[in-house]
Structure 1
């Protein structure tokens, strides 16, 4: 059965390589990008890759490290809840300060807080580990807001073509959420298993990559900020963000869609293992994870082509991405109702149902790869520049709240109910995306404006 994973991984890797070759321009506008822009983009992509490496290296061994220190599932769950709670409360506040004091400073704050989180992993004391989750929660909010805000602001301040952002977004996801995630997983496994450095080694490696990225930021990035007046109070910043969200339907729909999709995505992170091995079937977690990341890379390659088509707006095609995502996560429900195999033997390899479910999950990961750069493009279009980081952090509040509730009550719900909830979220996101398309579509000549 191991050949199933190898063939799947190989097929997806071949598709990914073919798409990347197809994307490379040999002539025309894409081949004549100015050297100063290419240097700017390369600098950002290198920094983004290092920042994502610092994040991806930690992921596979967070749970394992806590188990190594002797903590049970309940204590570990509280640590995870603390991380998401910190991101929701303190991360939102710290992230919003980027608009007032600078996105470069926010990036360096991400480096410092995440390195501090890594250092705490050297202690087995529960209080120290809890402090590490506190720092990690703040860092996570900065990772998904400060760097994108810096890029968009710097891109426009240098008067680069807005269309060039599309390529930067798709490449960032392809490299940071694809290539780096696979390499980081392999490196973490090598340090722990082959070098026998123990489960804390990936965190030391993460701190090293973060420090290198921090040096590059400090030496090469210029500062930019949103709010003109740094003396504006934090309350005023959040008030402006609230006004932007609830008085502009485009921003409101965008934030709601992001929260719904990411809530389903983060829930999927907890659900895919029990879904593929409901009866303790033996599954190669590392190979499955790598295969999913290749699928995500394929999605980001597709996104690059979609965003490069001026006649195809993300406001239109993303509603179909959301619907397809809902269908892919509904597959375990369908297989539960119409099973292919009634008898399972604990400890056996993955079943036929598991293989079909995995293919559905690969489709979902591919759609995740499309989601990220497409959402970045829409955020760059609709989120106000002066409060960009604040608004983006506000988008993450319902996401973090939802994940905390799920983590606290995950044992109370059957697996099919969890997947049904995720699918419902994604269908809701598709509905909101349709509304966004309607209110942003250019009116037909002679037609009255559309009312929503």
Structure 2
């Protein structure tokens, strides 16, 4: 339980701190706004490349030594599926000095007010920003519904693929395949011409993701014993996820005020987590959950369409 609490904190930091820091640092250095979308595409491509390697290493580590008790009376284990977690600890220990030595604290445009900031102040600034422009909450709805469906996918792809029967699938290799699809999606966004507005790219990406999970839900509901169609749907969805993050990161950099960026990003995560908790606590089948995710993605598509309309009227 303590691990999951700390994991929730670290996940919130992961999806807010890195992005906020990069946007602020990019503007502090005086780089052009068009370069930012390229940097987002490059950042996520490298991230997914690292994840591909991590998946391969995890699969190899889990296969070397079977899950074994330290002693007959011990509840501690080593090997098996605990090995990737042990290796991840080493990665975190390497990341700490790397960030400490290479990052400078970035307060955005208001360093003078940085001393008075904190969790409460950040959330208040985020709440004020949500009420200052219709674009901010509309974007928040799109972020919450898309990423909520993504987290439900994270919890359900394993039982969905296991439902086909037979030998257990190689989860590490499958994860690496997902990350390769994500890298293809993020690379696709990075290669797009700057004339394509990110908010216009985001709509077909979300609609494609909705179609992929919708077809996956239908395949599972029909009781298909073949995992091929389900796996193909998952790969398409992951490619959409790969294109989504650099795309929505660019949109957020344009819509969310600099001084309230961290607070707004964390406010966005409140309904996101609520969606995920609700779907997980209902104890419904993966097919039904993927169908619900398809509905959430349809809401996200509607929010992005509305965001594009608001942008056109400005």
Shift of 1:138: 1.1
RMSD: 2.2
Corresponding residue number in structure 1 for 2:206 = 322
Shift of 1:335: 3.0
Q: Which string of whole-angstrom CA distances, capped at 9 and with x for unpartnered residues, describes residues 257-286 of structure 1? A: 111001111111122233334352433333
Count of residues paired in the alignment = 298
Corresponding residue number in structure 2 for 1:404 = 277
Q: Which string of whole-angstrom CA distances, capped at 9 and with x for unpartnered residues, describes residues 147-171 of structure 1? A: 1111111111111122222222111
Which residue of 35, 52, 67 corresponds with 1:164? 35
Corresponding residue number in structure 1 for 2:238 = 365
Corresponding residue number in structure 2 for 1:390 = 263
CA gap 1:201/1:156 in 2 versus in 1, 3 angstroms? same
Would you say 1:212 and 2:98 are equivalent positions?
A: no
2:60 and 2:119 map into 1 onto residues whose CA distance is: 45
1:273 and 1:192 map into 2 onto residues whose CA distance is: 16
Q: Counterparts in 2 of 1:133-172, with a 5 A limit?
A: 133-172=4-43
Shift of 1:336: 5.4
Q: Counterparts in 2 of 1:50-449, with a 5 A limit?
A: 130-176=1-47, 178-194=48-64, 198=79, 199-226=81-108, 228-229=112-113, 230-232=115-117, 234-282=119-167, 283-306=169-192, 309-335=193-219, 351=226, 354-409=227-282, 411=283, 413-441=284-312, 449=313
2:186 and 2:262 map into 1 onto residues whose CA distance is: 23
SS in 1 for 2:33: coil
Conserved in 2, the CA contact under 8 Å of 1:292 and 1:365?
Answer: yes
1:335 and 1:144 map into 2 onto residues whose CA distance is: 32
CA gap 1:248/1:332 in 2 versus in 1, 3 angstroms? same
Conserved in 2, the CA contact under 8 Å of 1:275 and 1:332?
Answer: no
1:151 and 1:422 map into 2 onto residues whose CA distance is: 30
Conserved in 2, the CA contact under 8 Å of 1:267 and 1:422?
Answer: yes
Conserved in 2, the CA contact under 8 Å of 1:326 and 1:427?
Answer: yes
Shift of 1:185: 1.8
Q: Which string of whole-angstrom CA distances, capped at 9 and with x for unpartnered residues, describes residues 380-401 of structure 1? A: 1111111211110111111122
Q: Which string of whole-angstrom CA distances, capped at 9 and with x for unpartnered residues, describes residues 16-67 of structure 1? A: xxxxxxxxxxxxxxxxxxxxxxxxxxxxxxxxxxxxxxxxxxxxxxxxxxxx
CA gap 1:392/1:278 in 2 versus in 1, 3 angstroms? same
Q: Which string of whole-angstrom CA distances, capped at 9 and with x for unpartnered residues, describes residues 53-96 of structure 1? A: xxxxxxxxxxxxxxxxxxxxxxxxxxxxxxxxxxxxxxxxxxxx
Shift of 1:375: 0.8
2:139 and 2:7 map into 1 onto residues whose CA distance is: 26
- Highest relative contact order (Cα 8 Å, sep 6+), 1 or 2? 2
Q: Which string of whole-angstrom CA distances, capped at 9 and with x for unpartnered residues, describes residues 344-373 of structure 1? A: 6xxxxxx2xx21221121111111110010
1:209 and 1:336 map into 2 onto residues whose CA distance is: 36
CA gap 1:271/1:204 in 2 versus in 1, 3 angstroms? closer
Where does structure 1 lack aligned partners over 5 or more consecutive residues? 1-129, 345-350, 442-448
Corresponding residue number in structure 2 for 1:59 = none
CA gap 1:215/1:277 in 2 versus in 1, 3 angstroms? closer
Corresponding residue number in structure 1 for 2:71 = none
